[in-house]
Amino acid sequence: MFTGLPLFPEQASSVAPQVDALYFYLIAVSGFFSVLIATLVVYFALRYRRRSESEVPQPIHGSVKLELVWTLIPLAIVMFTFVWSTRVYFAMHRVPPGAMEVYVVGKRWMWKVQHMTGQREINELHVPVGVPVKLILTSEDVIHSFFIPAFRIKKDAVPGRYNSIWFQATRPGTYHLFCAEYCGTKHSQMIGSVTVLEPARFQAWLTGDGSGVSLASAGERLFNELACVTCHRADSVGRGPRLEGLFGKQVRLAGGETAVADETYVRESILNPAGKVVAGYQPIMPTYQGLVSEEGLMQLVAYIQSLAAPEGGSPLGTPEEPAPALPEAQRGEPAPPPDRARDLGKP
């Protein structure tokens, strides 16, 4: 009827065919039942239409057999659907080892993307084809949602925590990137594009982008600037736990519990050091709440992650700056971003 009327989005990720298969299956199920019900209703309405004003049909009470049939068959169908769809969900969240990590910060009304290699982008994301990419998402202000229809993935960027999801692009091209969680005035303009490149062209893009400093190196610089290195020393004699080889391992906490040293744990430990103290250490670390931006936190996380690599991080020099004073009685109120400060001045 309409030329160029699209009905389905492009499939450009490894999970997209799985989601589409589920979608077509559900369309088939829905179509079958809708047509069945519609046909029966229309047929009965015509076949048993009222022929005289005085007719009284014979009453039918019901049928246990039929009730069972239309309880159990739908039940079986939905249980099957449940299992299938949950497996697809798992496939979206179980990140394959060696995935390329990309940090994404949502901010009204833009997406700020940082690659491990240091490239930064705004409202754009360049990824190579055929490589699993793990997105680590957070937000500086309100809840946003990172949505790439062609990849069939979406994840909320929630302030104060990290969410993640992964994808593997399968076709070079440029695709839409949307914010799917309502975030204020320009919600509908918080859009951008995802560019999928052939590996060679991706390499060229990487080198062509002039920033040069990798995320981990930026994190290392910050690590030194904040004098974290005074306590977290590589030679295990510092007042804080050694961070080399820590990332991804399980750590034993003072309370006897354990925690996995993942992105969220590292982030939490920077912002709320007293929360989950590693067994054997004193809770002496001050909070860095308000001193490090969300992007800075991601750089620190990337740096600590790089320390876990077998070859270790780069050797650390002795810092010259003194440790920052304890931010006493600090209420943990980070400096509001400029536009937020304006919002707070509401009547």
Partner 1 sequence: MSTTQPGADARGEGTRPPAGPPGAPPVAEPRPSRVNYLNVSYGVKSWLLTTDHKRIALLYLASVTLMFFLGGAFAVLIRLELVTPPGDLVQSETYNKLFTLHGIIMVFFFLIPSIPAVLGNFLLPMMIGARDLAFPRLNLASWYIYTLGALFTLYALVNGGVDTGWTFYPPYSTQFSNTHVLAAGIGIFINGFSSILTGLNFIVTTHRMRAPGLTWFRLPLFVWAHYATSLIMVLGTPVIAVTVLMVAVERGLHLGIFDPTLGGDPILFQHLFWIYSHPAVYIMVLPAMGVVSEVVTCFSRKRIFGYSVVALSSLAIAVIGFLVWGHHMFVSGQSTFAGMVFSLLSYLVAIPSAIKVFNWTATLYRGSVSLQTPMLYAIGFIGLFTIGGLTGLFLAAMGLDVHVHDTYFVVAHFHYIMVGGAIMGYLGGIHFWWPKITGRLYPEWWARIAAVVIFAGFNLTFFPQFVLGYLGMPRRYHYYVEEFQVLNVMSSAGASILGVGYLIPMAYLVWSMRYGPKATANPWGAIGLEWETPSPPQTENFPRSPVVTWEAYEYAPEEEARVV
Partner 2 sequence: MTGASSHVVPVRVYVGVFAALLVLTGLTVWVASLDLGAWNTPVALAIAVSKAALVILFFMHVKYSPRLIWIVVASGFFWLAHLTAGTVADYVTRGWLGTPGS
Partner 3 sequence: MSSAAETHEGGLHPALAHHFESLPAQKEAATLGMWLFLAQEVMFFGGLFIAYTVYRNLYFDAFAAGSHHLDVTLGAVNTAVLICSSLTMALAVHASAIGRGRHAVVYLLSTVLLGSVFLGIKVVEYHDKFVHHLVPGPGFSAEALGVTGEVARSAETYYALYFAMTGLHALHMVVGIPILLFLAFKAHRGAYGRDYNTPVEMTGLYWHFVDIVWIFLFPLLYLIGRH
Which of positions 100-139 make contact with partner 2 (CB under 8 A)?
136
Candidate segments 71-79, 176-184, 241-249, 267-275, binder of partner 3 by CB under 8 A: 267-275
Q: Is 101 in the site for partner 1 (CB under 8 A)?
A: no
| CA-to-CA separations, 104 to 26, 101, 137, 299, in angstroms, rounded | 33, 10, 5, 12
237-241, long-range: CB within 8 Å, 24+ apart, which pairs? 239/281, 239/282, 239/284, 240/281, 240/285, 241/278, 241/281
Give the CB-side neighbour count of residue 2, counting CA atoms within 13 A.
4
What is the footprint of partner 3 within residues 99-128 (CB under 8 A)?
none
Angstrom distance (rounded) from CA 300 to CA 1: 55
Select from 274, 279, 309, 341 the one that contacts partner 3 (CB under 8 A).
274
154 vs 161, beta carbon nearer partner 3: 161
Q: Is 287 in the site for partner 3 (CB under 8 A)?
A: yes
What is the footprint of partner 2 within residues 62-101 (CB under 8 A)?
90, 93-94
Q: What is the strand order of the sheet 173-179 is part of?
A: 124-128, 192-197, 173-179, 144-148, 153-157
Select from 108, 115, 155, 233 the one that contacts partner 2 (CB under 8 A).
155
Q: Is the dihedral of CA 65, 69, 75, 80 positive or negative?
A: positive
Dihedral of CA atoms 232, 235, 239, 244 in degrees, nearest 10, equals 40
257 vs 343, beta carbon nearer partner 1: 343
What is the footprint of partner 1 within residues 183-242 (CB under 8 A)?
183-189, 191
282 vs 346, beta carbon nearer partner 1: 346
N- to C-terminal Cα distance for the chain? 52
What is the footprint of partner 2 within residues 232-271 (CB under 8 A)?
260, 262-264
Give residue 182's Cα distance to chain centre.
Answer: 16
Number of shown-chain residues binding partner 2 (CB under 8 A): 14
Beta bridge partners of 168: 132
Apex CA 291: angle with CA 288 and CA 296, to 5°? 95
Spatial contact of 183 and 143, defined as CB atoms under 8 Å apart: yes
Tokens 């050091």 locate to 273
DSSP one-letter code for 53: T
Residue 328's binding partner, choosing from partner 3, partner 2, partner 1, none, with beta-carbon cut-off 5 to 8 A by kind? partner 3
175 vs 303, beta carbon nearer partner 1: 175
Neighbours of 191 (CB within 10 A): 16
238 vs 334, beta carbon nearer partner 3: 334
8 vs 97, beta carbon nearer partner 1: 8
33 vs 89, beta carbon nearer partner 2: 89
Select from 200, 237, 325, 344 the one that contacts partner 1 (CB under 8 A).
344
Q: Is 163 in the site for partner 2 (CB under 8 A)?
A: yes
* Pairing of the two strands 153-157 and 144-148: antiparallel
What is the footprint of partner 1 within residues 265-304 (CB under 8 A)?
none
Q: Is 79 in the site for partner 3 (CB under 8 A)?
A: no
What is the footprint of partner 1 within residues 129-168 (CB under 8 A)?
141-143, 145, 147, 149-150, 152-156, 158-161, 163, 165
Candidate segments 16-24, 27-35, 65-73, 266-274, binder of partner 3 by CB under 8 A: 266-274
* Total count of residues recorded for the chain: 347
Tokens 């001193």 locate to 291
Tokens 């004699």 locate to 237
CB of 106 to partner 1, least distance (A): 12
173 vs 286, beta carbon nearer partner 3: 286
135 vs 229, beta carbon nearer partner 2: 135
Residue ranges that bind partner 2, judged by CB under 8 A: 90, 93-94, 136, 155, 161-165, 260, 262-264
